[in-house]
Amino acid sequence: MWKVRRELAVFKILGAVACAGLALFWYVGGDVRGVVLAVPAAVLVGAMGLRDVLAPVRLAADPSGITVVHGFAGHRHVPWEAIEDVRVDVRRRFGLRSEMLEIDTGDYLHIFSAHELGASPTEVAAVLRRRGT
């Protein structure tokens, strides 16, 4: 079972509260442009934090297949036979290396970052490949 680290969810919720506080501060000060920027930021970061609280488990594997988060906070079970490919997309940009786990089921491409999994996508892919065979 791979899930979002609790600290990351708390950080997102605190960020949303900070953005809402800035929006209130700018509203009282009469700065409409600040409010227009801070309110959508608070809503977006708050929604991301809420998703982390409602559906912390992003990927789980069992003998029958995998269960992935689907939509905002739903789950979808995928049998091993339906998984066409498990790969890790590695990119380098501005001197930084990023990895994304990609699970191709034919109909859907499920993509997970290291932050969503709470582990390295390379390690998760290796576990899934061993379990799926």
CA distance 2 to 51: 15
| pLDDT computed for residue 27 by the predictor | 94
The whole-number pLDDT of residue 133 equals 57
Q: pLDDT value at position 73?
A: 85
Which tokens hold the place of 80? 């091993």
pLDDT single digits (tens) 55-112: 999 999 999 999 999 888 899 999 999 999 999 999 999 999 999 999 999 889 999 9
pTM greater than 0.95 = no
Residue 13 vs residues 44, 90, 117: alpha-carbon distances, Å? 10, 29, 19
Q: Are 38 and 22 in contact (CB under 8 A)?
A: yes
- For 1-37, give the DSSP string: -EE--HHHHHHHHHHHHHHHHHHHHHHHHT-HHHHHH
Domain ranges of the chain: 2-54, 57-132
What pLDDT score does 72 carry? 87
pLDDT tens, residue by residue, 23-45: 999 999 998 999 999 999 999 99
Degrees, nearest 5: CA angle 64-55-128: 35
